[in-house]
Chain A
Amino acid sequence: MSDPNTTLSTLIKLNDLAGGLFLLTAFGLVAMRQVLASLNLFILQSLLLAASAFFVGYQHGSVHLYTVAVITLVTKSLLIPWLLRRTIGEEIYARREILQVLNIPTSLLIAVGIAIFAFFLSSPLLSASGKPFVKFNLPIGIAGLFLGAYAVMVRREAVPQVIGILSMENGAFFSTVAISPDLPLIAELAAAFDVLIIAFVMGLLTRRIHQRVGTTAVGQMASLKEE
């Protein structure tokens, strides 16, 4: 493994593997029926993001990316799930099916379309950059971003929507780690805490909605009126 070329190709393979599984979890977040399974998938996705940041960081010898990996690990796979469980636990452990606008096979097919659209969108950008990891991370990151947004649209309940927004952020980060290996640390920290606060605020908001209305099925709240 001392040969730099073999190391690079192995790292690229491992990073690609993390990327492929990242894409799969993004699809899973669109299709999972249970809230708890969605949250677990989100944790897995964050772990894969951290792994990718670690691989890219190892290649560039970049301390910043190691920090990104550690921050992701701590905030997204530990703190945010903990926060969500603390604030809206009863919603997360509720063993019922998430309401959806479309049925799941249809929404998966649309998700495939979105992923392919993301790849077409990123292909002109790829020619601008010669870095080895960008070729893989940028399209997958954009696809993750879009699929997160799609999950927010298609899910009709607050908690899966929160998870969708957080996974959008994951997607954005996934492409960032490859594009700019020397992102200033302050930006990373800001982003990480931003997400944490977002999760906290949304969790509290959802909790209030749940206390007031008794449900978080936001799709059914179109006719909510003041009394």
Chain B
Amino acid sequence: MANRIIFNVFQVLVVMVFAPLIKGILNRIKENIQSKRGPSIIQPYRDIWKLFHKDEVISEQSSWIFQATPYVVFVTPIFVTLLIPVLTRYPLFFAFMGDMLGGGFILALGGFFATLAAVDTANPYGPMGASRTRMVGFLAEPVFMIVFFTVSFVAGSTIPYIVHKHWVTPLANFFEPSHVLLMLAFLMLIIAEGGRIPVDNPSGHFELAMIDESKGLEYSGKAAALMKWGGAMKFFVLLCIFLNVLLTPWGLAEGETVGEVVLAIPLVLVKMLLFILVLAVIECSLAKLRLFRITEFLGAAFITSVAAMVTHLLET
């Protein structure tokens, strides 16, 4: 039992430490594909370090929501990390507290507070980004729901530790049409929720075109560092859910020894690296959609998830 508590805390530390690295590698690969040199892969660490040593400016007009939000955004991915399989195949100490739906709600809480804070400052760009994020959010919500329902249909549970066993026992389950379609739908969701390119441009500097980024424009100093770090961790956690639960449930620690759990770190990072490579190619080969085309993108995700559910009903 003590082991499982330690591993659980260790898992959180792993997410905190490696989340900026994944972001840095993704940025670097993207720039390299576009034949630029690109920033160093540890640039996000440097940014966070620098921001922690800067003074913070808080608008007099803002309320407590503005000041509390960075902490909420920073803490919510950590809570989700306690619930999902990041390194181990078996549930850890806190995993009983929630299933995938619970994790989704906790992540949504962070997004909700970020939206409120963006409206709070009355910076003209903040509310615009907030309303756009909500638009993407409420279009993504039904897809999330249907994906989770289908997962629970197929695997008989929404607990990630049971779900990821189902796909590979036997291996033929991996090729179930509902599984493949679910993966496609969830990939589109990750792109939408993570603010990646067909939906949003994470490296754009033009405020009028921003969706996700403009919510954090008012933050400076420590708060900005927490927002950045929290954003990186949210992306890391989404990748963990996608890779460890849905796409490739291999490479996780089976036993309860320290060695196996530590060995799982490079394996999980390699999986992420491969996926990030695919993501970078997707981002470099597509153009950003116009705002009202996002409905079509998420409509396609919706159709895919519905098709997954329907094909599962046909199989049984």
Residues of chain A whose beta carbon lies under 8 Å from any beta carbon of chain B: 6, 9-10, 13-14, 16-17, 19-21, 23-24, 27-28, 31, 104-105, 108-109, 111-112, 115-116, 119, 135-136, 139-140
Q: Is the interface of B mostly helix, strand, loop or mixed?
A: helix
Docked-complex contact A27 and B311, CB < 8 angstroms: no
A31 contacts which of B177, B181, B184, B300 (Cβ < 8 Å)? Answer: B300
For residue A136, which residues in chain B have a CB less than 8 angstroms away from its CB? 311, 314-315
B172 CB-CB contact with A under 8 Å: yes
- Check if A24 sits within 8 Å of B307, measured CB to CB: yes
Inter-chain contact A20/B180, CB cutoff 8 Å: yes
The answer to whether B175 touches A14 (Cβ under 8 A) is yes
Contact between A108 and B303 (Cβ–Cβ < 8 Å)? yes
What 6 A-B pairs are tightest by C-beta distance, nearest first? A20-B177, A20-B311, A105-B299, A16-B177, A17-B177, A13-B175
Our count of residue pairs bridging A and B at CB distance below 8 angstroms stands at 73
Instruction: List the A side residues contacting B172 at CB < 8 Å.
Output: 6, 9-10, 13
Q: From B177, which residue of chain A is reached at the shortest CB distance?
A: A20
C-alpha spacing A140/B306, complex, angstroms:
14
B122 within 8 A of A: no
List 29 contacting pairs A-B, 8 Å CB cutoff, sorted by A: A6-B172, A9-B172, A10-B172, A10-B175, A14-B175, A16-B176, A17-B175, A17-B177, A19-B177, A20-B307, A20-B308, A20-B311, A23-B310, A23-B311, A24-B303, A24-B304, A24-B307, A27-B307, A28-B300, A104-B296, A105-B295, A108-B302, A108-B303, A109-B299, A112-B303, A119-B314, A135-B314, A139-B314, A140-B314
Interface size classification for chain B? 20 to 34
The CA of A105 and the CA of B299, in the complex, are separated in Å by 6
**What residues of B have a CB within 8 angstroms of the CB of A21 in the complex?**
177, 180-181
B178 at the interface (CB under 8 A from A): yes
Q: Mark B269-312, 1 if CB is under 8 A from A, else 0.
A: 00000000000000000000000000110011011101110110
B296 touches A105 (CB 8 A): yes
B176 and A23 contact, CB distance less than 8 A: no
Q: Given the known inter-chain contacts A9-B172, A14-B175, A31-B296, please indicate yes or no for A19 contacting B303, CB distance below 8 A.
A: no
Cα–Cα distance between A136 and B307 once the two chains are bound (Å): 13
What is the chain A residue whose CB lies nearest that of B176?
Answer: A13
A108 to B181 alpha-carbon distance, docked (Å): 17
Question: For the complex, what is the distance from the CA of A105 to the CA of B300, rounded to whole Å?
Answer: 8
- Which of B173, B299, B311 touches A19 (beta carbons < 8 Å)? B311
Contact with A along B166-183 (1 / 0, CB 8 A): 000000110111101100
Closest residue of chain B to A115, judged by CB? B310
Chain A residues with Cβ below 8 Å from B180 are: 17, 20-21
